[in-house]
């Protein structure tokens, strides 16, 4: 299968154009729209989300990930093999957490054809490469080192994504000793699941992807706490 994670959004035509190119290059291969609301232009935030949400992707899948505000610039378009999976996307930090936690098996810079739209490598460069890999072919590429971002923290105490319920996903991996944190000016306690939270009372919990998430039972944590993307959190334990 081919698994897509982008900041393209579901309402615009970009995802459809990518899927057309994938259907042309790898007919019959399932395409999974895993995440098209990665935070716009936010490479670092998306790197933490990418690792967490791809943990259960089968090892034989091709993961095409695109958050690429520098499209058309000097950054490489790459094929990265890490943790038994194949990733296709820009070499701009998006794969830092994958490389750090799973290790780099190989990295190659794709050959970018002359006649492609310089503003849409997702459709014209990454999709054809992902399609080729999914059908067992090798796209034109050369070995290249992965650009690393060693100053990024292993866990990032910030709000990275807010879903339509108003739940706030953070860059913190859950650990047993984490029992209290500060968000939106309020001290939050940990719960195991939604039913442990009192209606209208914010709490945090380990979400299904191993990250700390802030929520309100049958309500919006973002609205009640005034949370926005990139808001910092304070660990109190």
Q: Is the same domain home to 19 and 128?
A: yes
Q: Is the same domain home to 27 and 131?
A: yes
Report residue 157 as tokens.
Answer: 């105490």
Ranges of H-type helices in the chain:
14-25, 43-53, 96-102, 121, 127-134, 221-225
Domain count within the chain: 2
Q: What is the pLDDT of residues 93-140, one digit of tens each?
A: 999 999 999 999 999 999 999 889 999 999 999 999 999 999 999 999
Q: Tell whether 47 is covered by a domain.
A: yes
What CATH number has the domain bearing residue 175? 2.40.30.90
pLDDT at position 90 is 98
Q: Is the same domain home to 99 and 166?
A: no
Q: How far apart are CA 22 and CA 30, in angstroms?
A: 10
Mean pLDDT of 152-156: 97
Q: Is the same domain home to 58 and 112?
A: yes
| pLDDT, averaged across the chain | 96
Q: Is the same domain home to 202 and 108?
A: no
pLDDT at position 198 is 87
- Short-list 121, 120, 122, 113, CA closest to 140: 113
Mean pLDDT of 57-77: 95
pLDDT at position 128 is 97
Q: Is the same domain home to 96 and 211?
A: no
Q: Is the same domain home to 104 and 180?
A: no
Q: Which of 79, 113, 143 is the last residue of a domain?
A: 143
pLDDT at position 130 is 98
Q: Is the same domain home to 110 and 189?
A: no
Question: pTM value?
Answer: 0.95
Give the confidence band of 68 by pLDDT, cuts at 50, 70, 90. Answer: very high
Give the confidence band of 61 by pLDDT, cuts at 50, 70, 90. Answer: very high
Host domain of residue 121: 2-143
Q: Which of 143, 167, 184 is the last residue of a domain?
A: 143
What CATH number has the domain bearing residue 95? 3.40.50.10790
Q: Is the same domain home to 22 and 56?
A: yes
- Short-list 78, 88, 87, CA closest to 141: 78
Q: What is the DSSP letter of 40?
A: T
Q: What is the pLDDT of residues 29-42, one digit of tens each?
A: 999 999 999 999 99
């Amino acid at each position: 299968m081919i698994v897509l994670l982008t900041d393209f959004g579901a309402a615009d035509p970009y995802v459809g154009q990518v899927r057309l190119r994938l259907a042309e290059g790898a007919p019959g291969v399932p395409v999974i729209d895993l995440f098209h609301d990665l935070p716009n232009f936010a490479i670092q935030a998306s790197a933490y989300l990418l690792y967490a949400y791809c943990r259960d992707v089968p090892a034989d899948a091709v993961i095409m990930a695109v958050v690429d505000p520098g499209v058309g610039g000097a950054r490489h378009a790459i094929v990265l093999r890490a943790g038994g999976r194949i990733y296709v996307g820009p070499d701009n930090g998006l794969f830092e957490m994958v490389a750090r936690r799973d290790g780099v098996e190989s990295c190659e810079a794709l050959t970018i054809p002359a006649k492609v739209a310089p503003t849409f490598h997702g459709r014209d460069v990454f999709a054809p490469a992902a399609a080729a890999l999914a059908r067992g072919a090798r796209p034109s590429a050369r070995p290249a080192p992965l650009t690393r971002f060693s100053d990024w923290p292993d866990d990032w105490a910030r709000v990275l994504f807010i879903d339509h319920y108003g739940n706030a996903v953070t860059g913190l991996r859950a650990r047993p000793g984490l029992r209290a944190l500060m968000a939106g000016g309020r001290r939050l306690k940990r719960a195991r699941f939604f039913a442990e939270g009192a209606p209208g009372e914010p709490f945090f919990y380990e979400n299904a992807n191993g990250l700390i998430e802030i929520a309100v039972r049958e309500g919006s944590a973002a609205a009640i706490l005034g949370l926005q993307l990139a808001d910092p959190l304070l660990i109190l334990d």
